[in-house]
Chain A
Amino acid sequence: MYRAGQQPDPPHGSDDGKTSDAAFAALLEDSAEELYESAPCGYLSTLMDGTIVKINGTLLGWLGLEPETVVGRMRFTDLLTMGGKLYHETHFAPLLRMQGEIGGIALEIKRAGGTRMQALVSSVVKHGCTGEPELIRTSVFDARDRRTYEEELLRARRVAEEARKQAEADRARLQDALAVLQQSLLPDSLPSVPGVEAAAHYRTASPDRLGGDFYDLFPIDGRRFGFFLGDVCGKGPQAAAVTSLTRYTLRAAALHDPDPVSALSTLNRALHERYTDGGDPRYCTVIFGTLAPDPAAGQVTVRLASGGHPPALVLRADGTADFLPTPGGLLVGILPSAPFTAVTAVLGPGDTLLLYTDGLTEARTGEDRTSLYGDAALRDFIAGHAGKPPHAVIQALSGLLDDFGDGLDDDSALLAFGVTAPAPRTDISA
């Protein structure tokens, strides 16, 4: 023990230097055999055929064997598990023969009592003075800790991998559920209406988010069909709930009273009562109308009203296109009772009525989010397709939506009706 302020004694005093050296030498002499027997790793020497000729105490301790049962009686491979034997035979021994040494190979050794122990094995071939291989010297390191660590790493990786797979599966399931919900907000297919061709298109701006646009076409009675197209404020599950309420309220209202003003008033009351009274105002813009086809006359009478929705476009067979104004209509759902007015239009052969949502007219056409496509541009574009049947008009608009690319911030719904060309008259008297 050193005391403060004093120099420590030199390790080898000049007086007893010789005694110390002798003590070290004695210690080393002693430890050569001792080191072999009690080294922190296992040692063994075998003949070239694997017969064990020498083995240290450490390894015997790990194996739980006595030297007399091992030396001259067992081969190195007898110490290995079945898997270890196979690996030894197919890899370890051939490489050792070829290279004269091999290091750090993981092998499992058998212990008395049937347990196994993970070990890292290195071997080197000792050659005689004539160059002939004489012995194999092998060291065996305990690799249980290291194996535990590796197994832990592997386990952690498996857990992470499973978590990733689970997350992917959850995400796929959620997308499926969203797709099913989205589909429940739109008709699977449009019913066939006598003397009328109908076409629709829906474009979602983001597959992950439920859109708030909707449309429908359905029979009311033997003579008339109801239709609507609209846009619910907002996106996501809450908006989808409003869309669902809107869709089924309008369908039921139309069966009760197909007058467009009456149907929109019923929807207005339902939305206002459900949401605004609860302090969470939710509303939609929608055009609702009825089609009364007269195939014999080759025309369809359309009666519609708008609740704050952009006006429909009428494409005439003569190549003109114009908005069908629906003044005075208010967003549906914000006031306890809202004004709606109905207008009537008659479509003749080659005429098409187009309904759309503002995803189309509000598509960005420049860097700035105030540079929008706009009503005038839509009318000019659509005038170029006047006279074409509804499916061709929808196809042209679908192409236009494609061209907007990233400029589409919102979903777009399109619905078009046209009078099918009358079947060519055949002169039966001829």
Chain B
Amino acid sequence: MSTLHITAREAVTGPVLGIVGALDHTTATELRTRLTTITLRPGQRLVLDLHGMDFCDSSGLTALIAARNLAHAARADVALVAVPPNTMRVLRIVGLDQIFSLHPDSDAATRP
């Protein structure tokens, strides 16, 4: 059974969620539910730190897209941090690398 742990902190740029574990069809709803509880102001940036994510399937991608849609609805930006190589390969194939800003680490992503 896969497990997902979500950490949260507030940076100057806005909320930072850390995704630890597997983001798949059994856990993706946890992230989607969590996303509905965060507050985003216009001009802020929602940062998803994937440093600790060890697996991501198509349901996980859907959750990332949902995060992007949520941010855009709030007129905020969204950024992915430390995307693991396997997931990066998939993001490139499906073209999602074009619609997320990607950063190597959370320092770079939370720089105002």
Contacts and interface: CB of A to CB of B under 8 A. Distances in A.
A330 B96 contact: yes
A223 B96 CA distance: 35
Interface residues of B, number: 17
Given A281-B62, A281-B69, A330 B94 contact: yes
A285 B94 contact: yes
Most A CB contacts (10 A, CB to CB) among B55, B62, B94 go to: B94
Interface residues of A, number: 22
Given A281-B66, A308-B93, A370-B54, A328 B61 contact: no
Given A276-B69, A308-B94, A233 B62 contact: yes
Interface of B: 25, 54-55, 58-59, 61-62, 65-66, 69, 86, 93-96, 98-99
A334 B54 contact: no
CB-CB nearest 3 A-B residue pairs: A330-B95, A308-B94, A233-B58
Given A308-B93, A339-B98, 7 more contacts: A234-B59, A281-B62, A281-B65, A311-B93, A328-B95, A330-B95, A372-B86
A64 to B, nearest CB: 70
A369 interface: yes
Main secondary structure of the interface of B (DSSP, over half): helix
A335 B99 contact: yes
A339 B98 CA distance: 10
Which of A310, A330, A334, A372 has most chain B Cβ within 10 Å? Answer: A334
A331 interface: yes
Contacts of A350: none
B65 A334 contact: yes
B54 A331 contact: no
Given A369-B55, A370-B54, A331 B94 contact: yes
Contacts of B62: 233-234, 281, 283
